Chain A
């Protein structure tokens, strides 16, 4: 991963100098920082990084699609996500690769869609697992930089390419 970005992120976290940092002034910089934060193994550092990236009321949600079509929804704020995801980080080392990105934005809000491949290396066996996701980010521009206000992801369903998530229908609204 980009060592320069890691350095910037850690510098921001430790030095509390994020107001001067230009990385978070761009949507790309914010998302790169998010994936770096999500790869951070130390939970304290991960907490500080998320604190830097999320709004105070920011939320993290996930939907796990099962092969039978059912799903499980997990919701909460970013702080509870840090706590609850601890067991995953105890067992795996994650690595995120962003495959594609689309977005809509207007002034201070942006909706960003990413197709992401997550690689999880099991610590005990070294075995690698791969999962693909559609991640939706709600971003907000405050105090001259972007923040994550909400993130939601869903895993790829077997037989239905996750890239389909980026296909759009544009509708002219006509209420029933």
Chain B
């Protein structure tokens, strides 16, 4: 008798889990939650979380620094996620949500922290984003209809109401954190001169050069030209210098073949304008080593 009850309970719990995992979006928050929880599960049916015309719009910055829009269907977005997941473990955590709801429509305006952890090296990249999510209740279930995504700009921090100070972490690359220290002086320390002519190495600057916009765009760019950022068998090193104004220049390509040089030049030309490295509160030149497929 007891065993029968246990089996029934297990069955009911399993059915609840199955239904709540992908189809049962009873509130806007549940639908929102499911989208972020399924982010790591690329084999899951992300499309079912969206309406039939659902769309994701991301803002990025082109080579001239002008904002541009890239629009994805849920299926296209899933492909993008899968390509990033080949290199990084993805973790997305909403932080603060502003919810409006009336009848069968809702809006969640949210800060979302995206953490990418390199699967081979455990390097971590942290990026705060604003994600404005529009939801519609259709056939009794809440679905996402539209998402607008904008990454945080280092010069224009997200409002503290949406990103409380204890969460205000900038980028974190190669374990060199950009955490805003509570006790750091309000006025930057200009007492130490920087060398405007020097091309700094990445371990010499206070803040690393930062590629703007959605991280997946840069990952796609590297993939397109067969470029990686760690020594790899079958790949040849070359150097890209990020100037004070954020423009990228190919500055060392002596080890490359003619074809590789052409590829490396195209890779650099396709880059957007970077946020330059910072040393003693000033923008400085900084060189980055990349490796291109032979």
Contacts and interface: CB of A to CB of B under 8 A. Distances in A.
Secondary structure at the A interface, as helix, strand, loop or mixed, is strand
A170 B98 contact: yes
Main secondary structure, interface of B, reads: strand
Contacts of A157: 102-103
Nearest to A167: B100
Interface in A125-167: 134, 136, 138, 140-143, 149-150, 152-155, 157, 160, 162, 164-167
A16 B68 CA distance: 21
A171 B104 contact: no
B109 interface: yes
Interface in B130-167: 130, 132, 134, 136-138, 145-146, 148-150, 153, 156, 158-159, 161
A65, A107, A141 — most chain B CB neighbours (10 Å):
A107
B71 A154 contact: no
A142 B67 CA distance: 6
Contact of A172 (B66, B95, B109): B95
Size category, B interface: 35 or more
Given A108-B59, A166-B100, A152 B145 contact: yes
B104 A154 contact: yes
A138 B146 contact: yes
A134 B53 CA distance: 20
A57 B134 contact: no
A19 interface: no
Interface residues of A, number: 46
Interface of B: 29, 33, 36-37, 51-53, 55, 57, 59, 66-69, 71, 93-105, 107, 109-110, 130, 132, 134, 136-138, 145-146, 148-150, 153, 156, 158-159, 161
12 contacts: A61-B145, A71-B104, A106-B156, A142-B68, A152-B105, A154-B102, A154-B105, A166-B100, A167-B100, A169-B98, A172-B96, A175-B94
Interface of A: 55, 57, 59, 61, 63, 65, 71, 73, 75-77, 104, 106-109, 111, 113, 134, 136, 138, 140-143, 149-150, 152-155, 157, 160, 162, 164-173, 175-176
